Amino acid sequence: MIQVNEIVRYIEELVRIPSPSGYTKEAIDYVARFFEEQEIPFEISKKGGLLATIQGADDSKHRLLTAHVDTLGAMVKDIKPSGRLSLSMIGGFRWNAVEGEYCRIHTMDGQVYTGTILVHETSVHVYKNAGDVARDEVHIEVRIDEPVKSREDTEKLGIAPGDFISFEPRVEVTNSGFIKSRHLDDKASVGILMHLVSVIKEQQIQLPYTLHLLISNNEEIGYGGNSNIPSETVEYIAVDMGAIGDGQATDEYTVSICAKDSSGPYHFELRKHLVTLAKKHQIEYKVDIYPFYGSDASAALRAGYDVKHGLIGAGIDASHAFERTHVDSLRHTAELLLRYVQSPLV
């Protein structure tokens, strides 16, 4: 029933749309067109997030699934005397994770210029201790692919402080089933939710409860998309990435179910329900703790919403850098969500 190639297609299209937090309209418009094609009603909030609704048999209690289209990025902080750009970070990453990456500069008047993110002291033929230079806002800069030699040259292009910088995704799908790209956090999950909607529509699945799909656009900077959560919402699951590393159970081949992150434990009975569904339907999963992590679901609790909250997602390697996952992880995540939305409430 789950067609993982369709999920991959959505992901490939999504990651190519520039959408650092604060600059997400094009990505939201892409998802909006999908819901229009599926004839699913939706609304776009004043903050720019999207909330779609699929009517269920019981409309007195609702479920909500969320994923976010906003990504890491940067903003022009200053134009240097050389004409190069100093940057201000958007989202939580390390400068070394984007050093050497191609980027795009998005000006206020709609112009787009390309460039490369470099440490100022890059050339080992000039700077003896190039490898020891701090990777920070002082030393990282953008080399613009235009003939600029001064601040004035760059200003004449229309580039100014406050312009958004997006990172090139460099998406690639391997014959062995890996998807490697920037911004799999969290566009992999958005792709999964889009395919989930397609399956529900194509199979004419009658959901037991009304289901909302919230595509948020400020997750990477901690706002979440929670201002328009319907009051009938009982269960709220963030579909985000599973973090991989030393001491983590999560891998690139299973669905990760989060027990606890930096905000504290997720709802125990809801987590138990997800694990039970995975076992019953032979869905491969891992339960994990993410020590330096927060989600839109935990943001909803901080905002005061009285919901049972959970967090699941595909396992993503090298999070907030050049990320990678496998089609098996996408499949298991989608399968668990499909079983969940047809199951009883906790």
On whether 141 is known to bind a ligand per the annotation, the reply is no
Residues taking part in catalysis = 219
The 8-class DSSP code of residue 20 comes to B
Q: Does the annotation place 252 within a ligand binding site? A: no
* Residue 281 labelled as part of a binding site: no
Q: Is 240 annotated as a binding residue?
A: yes
Cite the beta strand spans of the chain per DSSP E: 42-44, 50-54, 58-68, 73-79, 85-90, 102-106, 112-119, 140-144, 164-167, 172-173, 178-181, 209-216, 233-239, 242-243, 255-261, 264-265, 285-290, 308-316, 323-326
∠ Cα 202 253 172 (to 5°): 80
User: Do residues 212 and 52 lie in contact, with contact meaning Cβ atoms separated by under 8 Å?
Assistant: yes
Q: How far apart are CA 76 and CA 127, in angstroms?
A: 25
- Residue 220 in marked binding region: yes
Cβ neighbours for 201, distance < 8 A, ≥ 6 positions apart: 38, 39, 40
In angstroms, rounded to a whole number, what is the distance separating the alpha carbons of residues 69 and 90? 14
Binding-site residue set = 68, 185, 220, 240, 320
Binding-site residue set for Zn(2+) = 68, 185, 220, 240, 320
